[in-house]
Amino acid sequence: MYLVVNIIGVLVYLCIAWALSKNRSKIKWRSVGIMVVLNLVIAWLLTSFTGGRDAVKGAADGFNWLVQVAYQGINFALPNWVGATGTHPAPVNFITSALLPILLIVPMFDILTYIGVLPWIIKWIGRGLSFITGQPKFESFFAVEMMFLGNTEALAVSKLQLTTMKAERDVTLAMMSMSCVTASILGAYTQMVPGQFVLTAVPLNCINALIVTNMLNPVDVAPEEDTIAKIGNVADEPGESEAAAQETGAVEANGKREPFFSFLGDSILGAGTLVLIITANVIAFVALAALIDRLLGLIWKPLSLESILGVVMFIPAWLMGLNVHTAWDFSQLMGLKLVTNEFVVMGQVTGKINHFAPHYRAVLTVFLTSFANFGTTGMIIGAFKGMVDKEKNDMVSSNVGYMLLSGILVSLLSAGMVGLFIW
């Protein structure tokens, strides 16, 4: 019974994208069908196939190992913050267990970028995805790029492409940017929710972002437009993008390679800034949510932000194949995540999520693993404002509703697809 509801739910999420499409006649159904099948196969491989489960578990264990290594640096600078032995926070707190390890993980990914490993992976996975799905080259490239770099970072290194392609495609990228995560922050997620489902969500979000944007905002891309912009003489082979060249972190404005330790110092400072930004946002959003709850309580005591958003998100939550009580709890967490961010909700469920039923644990974790929330729309609009002309920026800004809808539908599709195989 619940499996049937889950299947219907995935179809309903796709139907919503079709119903709210800007131009249904331009939807490339063959490409959509290929991507849906591809994502279902990926979801099955990573959740039900022994080799896939082992691979995901190994990756999750790898992130946990990196966090344990990071604790050694934390313990040196801040003794006893990670317990007497320097191996685990005691008592557990959000900043020490989830955020401070970012100071190691971000520079590690930046080093992989500096030596060219990460750009190479992004480039070839993007090309393969474009070949399989039939999606435009840069949109496929960007889907993989944002999976590793995050939304504003991926946009920043794609500036040349954003300024040269038509505004409708810029809107597509803005909508896709709602559904990403940053690879360097996955270690923080795995400390709060089950790591195997966090890592399963990443490739699913990548492809579902292409599915949803292709349906909500279908754009015809002529063969002569289906190119990847190049910059100067940095790109050393045909089709290599500005992003792939700049991602190496090796190129300064004058075209020379930046010294490694200068690059590493900038990376560490960037990681520290990221920790402060996340901390400030979590404190502010939790406090604001509490303030709103208090104000609503003055009107009617049982009234709260979670209960209002829970009503709005209840049907999508129930369509995950959950019973009514669990769906109500899930809908409130979904709404809270959209108003605040994923860290706030992960912090609420840490310590108890492992006691949830397997299906609920899986769909909840996958839904939370993205940057889709109201605050992200502001970040994306701000990024575009600094890179494109007023006409393109105005078009992106006028599609805030579609951006948020895209992020929600991608999260719902990814969670629903994983839920099909976990019971």
Per-residue confidence band for 137, with pLDDT thresholds at 50, 70 and 90: confident
Please tell me the distance from the alpha carbon of residue 383 to that of residue 215, in angstroms, as a whole number: 24
Token digits of residue 182: 């940053």
pLDDT tens for each residue of 297-319: 899 888 887 788 888 899 999 99
pLDDT tens for each residue of 229-256: 643 434 444 444 444 444 444 555 555 6
Least confident stretch, 190-194, 208-212, 417-421? 190-194
Instruction: Report, as an integer, the average pLDDT of 115-127.
Output: 81
Taking the alpha carbons at both ends of the chain, their separation in whole angstroms is 12
Instruction: Report, as an integer, the average pLDDT of 133-142.
Output: 85
State the burial class of residue 376 (Cβ atoms within 10 Å of its Cβ: 0-12, 13-18, 19+): buried
Instruction: Report, as an integer, the average pLDDT of 274-302.
Output: 82
Structure pTM? 0.80
State the burial class of residue 203 (Cβ atoms within 10 Å of its Cβ: 0-12, 13-18, 19+): buried
Per-residue confidence band for 105, with pLDDT thresholds at 50, 70 and 90: confident
Is pLDDT at 160 greater than 50 in this prediction? yes
DSSP 360: H
Specify the amino acid at residue 331: S
How many other C-beta atoms lie within 10 A of the C-beta of residue 52?
Answer: 18
What pLDDT score does 45 carry? Answer: 92
Domain that holds residue 94: 2-419
Percent of the chain at pLDDT > 70 equals: 88
Give the number of domains in the chain: 1
Beta bridge pairs of residue 213: none
Between these two residues, 289 and 394, which has the higher pLDDT value? 394
Peptide bond into 91 cis (omega under 30): yes
DSSP 419: H
Residues 221, 136: contact at Cβ < 8 Å?
yes
Nearest alpha-carbon partner for 123 in 237, 209, 244: 244
Is pLDDT at 76 greater than 90 in this prediction? no
Distances (CA, A) of 32 to 18, 169, 175, 388, 399: 11, 17, 17, 29, 22
DSSP 352: T
Tell me, letter by letter, the H, E, C secondary structure of 184-223.
HHHHHHHCCCCHHHHHHHHHHHHHHHHHHHHHHCCCCCCC
The residue written with tokens 């020490």 in the block is 96
Is pLDDT at 190 greater than 70 in this prediction? yes
Tell me the pLDDT of the chain averaged across its residues. 83
Please tell me the distance from the alpha carbon of residue 330 to that of residue 379, in angstroms, as a whole number: 26
Is pLDDT at 351 greater than 90 in this prediction? no
Is pLDDT at 257 greater than 80 in this prediction? no
Cα three-residue angle 172-375-296, rounded to 5 degrees? 130
